[in-house]
Structure 1
Amino acid sequence: MRCTEFDGDGKVTLVNGAFKKSELIAKCGLLPRDLRKIDSASLPHILVRPSAILIKILHISCLINHNRVLVFDAYGTTDSHTQSIFMYDLEGKLQLREGRSADTLPYEFRALEAVLISVTSALEGEFEGVREPVVQVLRELEEDIDRNKLRHLLIYSKKLGTFEQKARLVRDAIDDLLEADDDLSDMYLTENANGVIREEDDHTEVEMLLESYYKVCDEIVQASSNLVSNIRNTEEIVKAILDANRNSLMLLDLQFTILALGIGVGTFFAGLYGMNLKNFIEETDFGFPLVSISCGVFCMIAIVWGLRKLRKVQRLSMWGESGSLSPENSNRRGRGSWREIEPQSQLSGESRVDRTVRWKQDQRMGKMQEGSSEPL
């Protein structure tokens, strides 16, 4: 495996050096399956062993000891530039500065902090690159709904969904580590190497370190989730607007159809009048005005009747039918508003107390009749 090695002073001792897996397993106290997560696993992992911490998160794959850090190289990939920036940051974190030796964290925690800083910075940068075009497309859709904008929104929503899943996995990896007290206590590699035994619940220092970066990852996840929900809401609104426009077009088509129906009724009577048959109307002086007025009247009747039917169909209600329990509509079976529905007892003037007393009397009379009908 190709690695870059940092010593205890933070200096690079080996660049792109080759290490055998068996050698790493023997020196660092790892299991053969642990190194497979570096080779093939794509999910974030933070494995804690008594003498090493194996990290696989995004573009960083490294092995941390109490006095050495091995960064597995990713040259030739899209993450090589980001990993190079991480190595410069790691070198600065690992080198102790004068006057701050008493306040600095242990060697393994400084390396872990450098990893978490690089990971959160990469997530923030990627989120900013995804958020800006999404927000711009959402603002443009508020002004005008265009096919190209919807296509761009679909592409950006897929990218945002992939990023949200990635950020969620990183957050869950840190959360799983925070839930394991034994792993947190085993992360004190310097004390373990010096033979210092630490209690299982004595891990405040590393816990605070992980919690601070867990909050950063959680903020990124929440921001991406809010942006995804905005995209979903925008899509629903766009669908509603398109449905409303489609309904308007259908309504316009129905209106033209009703107008054509009315004109057709008028032309029907005009056609009857214009047939080569003797009807004796054309011989009169008022024949043409009478037929013209009749055609216009029938045409208007057909149009008004069609528009009234269309307006009735346009009315929507929770009942599906419009009706009431008025005396003139009491024989109909249509539903009315719930405010118009009253119990029959209230219509007859009987109060609830009277109905309760009458019900008890009926129950008492029924029991008496049952007792008298029993055989001796």
Structure 2
Amino acid sequence: MKATHGAHAPCRATPFDDTPCDPTQAAPKPAVPHAAQTRDFATSSLRQAFWQHLRFTSSSNPKVAKPLQQDDLPPLQGFLDDHAGLNGGRVVKPGYDGRLRCTEYDENGKITLVDTEFKKSELIAKYSLLPRDLRKIDSSVLPHILVRPSAILINLLHLRCLIKHNRVLVFDVYGSTDSYAQSLFMYDLEDKLRQKQASTAAILGGNLPYEFRALEAVLVSITTALETELENVREPVMRVLRELEEDIDRDKLRRILIYSKKLGTFEQKARLVRDAIDDLLEADDDLAAMYLTEKAQGQEREDDNHEEVELLLESYHKVSDEIVQVSSNLISAIRNTEEVSRAILDANRNSLMLLGLKVDIGTMGISVGMFIAALYGMNLENFIEETNYGFFGISGFCTVLSIIACMYGLRKLRKVQRLSMWGREGSGRMKLGGHNRAREVEERPMAALAENDRGRHLGETVEGIRRAERMREWQDAYKALRETHKDAKAGAAVGAVGRR
């Protein structure tokens, strides 16, 4: 491709510009918007146009060609990646950029704002909060009930609320999976706020203020959600436990493992809710500061004057504690069932191993008899070929030898199976009589204990000495008892002779 000097050749100042220009002149610099607003899509056609522009400019007049400008380059991510999709060259905006979306209720229970976004700085200034308060609200790790001079901040499971003396803000968490439970809470909160008397007013002896009605709606929603989740977990767990009592198989053990994990997560969640309420009940100053309506009217309460809110919190603390106890009992039942199942499986495995050992012992006995028969299978003179009873004699001898070997092996196996608290070796037995009852006592001499305690740790040695002392005391008591019986018998005999 040739180009004469002074002639205008088509070139592109930008990859999408077909305006003819002079290659000796610098390409006009296009206006570039702000980096955060650029949404360039890097495609293969864009890169192809860029390389064509580069080859044409360098071959037309390399002496006067201007170097590439920064704005002539395509986006780096799309330039290097042929498979860059819609994200190529695009500046990704943060998820909510320090904003919180919430719904607001007024003092009459009417919704004034629906899914309205607020900056955190606006919420801090409007409701006299601290940045760390919103950080706890925005977190989903630990439940909190925070009392501030003019507001109550609640972060419990799927609910995040800010309660004032005449306003309630319900925060909508991005990516929440409990939208159904939160929707039910919205309706219940609206009904509670429209009522001048809540369900616990009869217990507390009067009308509840606005903030306590909102607090009760939150606690009702939380405890209801916990009870519903507990019922959904408890029924399948109890069913699987009943099935495991009748039959232990692989599928049931796998299901009980899954339910155990779910129940453990639920129990931890319920325990955190109970602990959050318990921590609030332990703080008298926070309980007194929860009377926001009286505080807005200029009335101050003493730190120990908080009976209404304490009774309200204690009632729901009891409910949450019952949920925790039920879930803990279920977890204990699962663990006990797992231990029993493990013990049964171990016993079955031991039975199979015992059966294998018995088969091995029988094989060993037969092998002993076959060894004798194999010796007679050699082509050598054994001097019994001409006898009439040689075959029957050798066959009977091999059979008897095999039986003896099997009996010896089974006897050793029974000794290995027989376990006691004192061990298997060196245990003598003596019978104790008295009132027609026979009792067996392990007799361990001191020398045997000292011999067995050699090479052991200090704790094991001391325990062996204590066992020897207890055994010696028992032997002394037994001797004294025998002497007493002898004296009683002698006295009875003397009395009988005297009566005669």
For the criterion TM > 0.5, the same-fold answer is yes
Cα deviation, residue 339, structure 1: 11
> Contact 1:58 / 1:119 at 8 angstroms: preserved in 2?
yes
Confirm whether residue 257 of structure 1 aligns to residue 376 of structure 2: no
Cα deviation, residue 280, structure 1: 1.9
Query: What SS is found at the alignment partner of 1:280?
Result: coil
Aligned-residue identity in percent = 67
Could you tell me which of 214, 229, 248 is aligned with 1:145?
248
* CA distance, structure 2, for counterparts of residue 331 and residue 73 of structure 1: 77
Confirm whether residue 64 of structure 1 aligns to residue 163 of structure 2: yes
* CA distance, structure 2, for counterparts of residue 128 and residue 81 of structure 1: 18
Confirm whether residue 77 of structure 1 aligns to residue 171 of structure 2: no
| Equivalent position of 2:428 in the other structure | 324
Are the structure 2 counterparts of residues 345 and 203 from structure 1 closer, same or farther at C-alpha, using a change threshold of 3 Å? Answer: closer
* CA distance, structure 2, for counterparts of residue 96 and residue 90 of structure 1: 10
Confirm whether residue 296 of structure 1 aligns to residue 399 of structure 2: yes
* CA distance, structure 2, for counterparts of residue 194 and residue 205 of structure 1: 18
Could you tell me which of 84, 90, 102 is aligned with 1:3?
102
**What is the aligned length?**
349
Could you tell me which of 173, 186, 193 is aligned with 2:276?
173
- After TM superposition, the score normalised by the length of structure 2 is 0.65
CA deviation string 1:48-102 (max 9, x = no partner): 0111001010110110000111111247531111111001000000113599999
* CA distance, structure 2, for counterparts of residue 324 and residue 261 of structure 1: 31
Letter in 2 for 1:146: D
Could you tell me which of 250, 261, 275 is aligned with 2:378?
275
Which one has more relative contact order, counting CA pairs under 8 Å at least 6 apart? 1
For structure 1, the residue ranges without an aligned partner over 5 or more in a row are: 352-376
Are the structure 2 counterparts of residues 258 and 6 from structure 1 closer, same or farther at C-alpha, using a change threshold of 3 Å? Answer: same
Letter in 1 for 2:428: S
Greater Cα shift, 212-221 or 127-136: 127-136
Greater Cα shift, 122-131 or 271-280: 271-280
Structure exhibiting the larger radius of gyration computed from Cα positions: 2
* CA distance, structure 1, for counterparts of residue 344 and residue 480 of structure 2: 51
Are the structure 2 counterparts of residues 71 and 330 from structure 1 closer, same or farther at C-alpha, using a change threshold of 3 Å? Answer: closer
Could you tell me which of 109, 116, 124 is aligned with 2:219?
116
Cα deviation, residue 277, structure 1: 1.8
Cα deviation, residue 12, structure 1: 1.1
* CA distance, structure 2, for counterparts of residue 159 and residue 4 of structure 1: 32
| Equivalent position of 2:327 in the other structure | 224
Cα deviation, residue 104, structure 1: 2.4
| Equivalent position of 2:60 in the other structure | none
RMSD: 2.9
1:1-376 alignment to 2 at 5 Å? 1-74=100-173, 77-96=176-195, 103-322=206-425, 323-324=427-428, 333=448, 341-342=471-472, 346=476
* CA distance, structure 1, for counterparts of residue 447 and residue 198 of structure 2: 95
Letter in 1 for 2:355: L
Query: What SS is found at the alignment partner of 1:178?
Result: helix
- After TM superposition, the score normalised by the length of structure 1 is 0.86
Query: What SS is found at the alignment partner of 2:428?
Result: coil
> Contact 1:134 / 1:156 at 8 angstroms: preserved in 2?
yes
For structure 2, the residue ranges without an aligned partner over 5 or more in a row are: 1-99, 431-442, 453-463, 482-500
Runs of 4+ displaced beyond 3 Å: 97-103, 328-347
Are the structure 2 counterparts of residues 213 and 343 from structure 1 closer, same or farther at C-alpha, using a change threshold of 3 Å? Answer: closer
* CA distance, structure 1, for counterparts of residue 303 and residue 197 of structure 2: 33
* CA distance, structure 1, for counterparts of residue 305 and residue 141 of structure 2: 32
Query: What SS is found at the alignment partner of 2:403?
Result: helix
| Equivalent position of 1:361 in the other structure | none
Cα deviation, residue 30, structure 1: 1.1
Query: What SS is found at the alignment partner of 1:19?
Result: strand
Cα deviation, residue 40, structure 1: 2.6
> Contact 1:325 / 1:341 at 8 angstroms: preserved in 2?
no
> Contact 2:444 / 2:471 at 8 angstroms: preserved in 1?
no
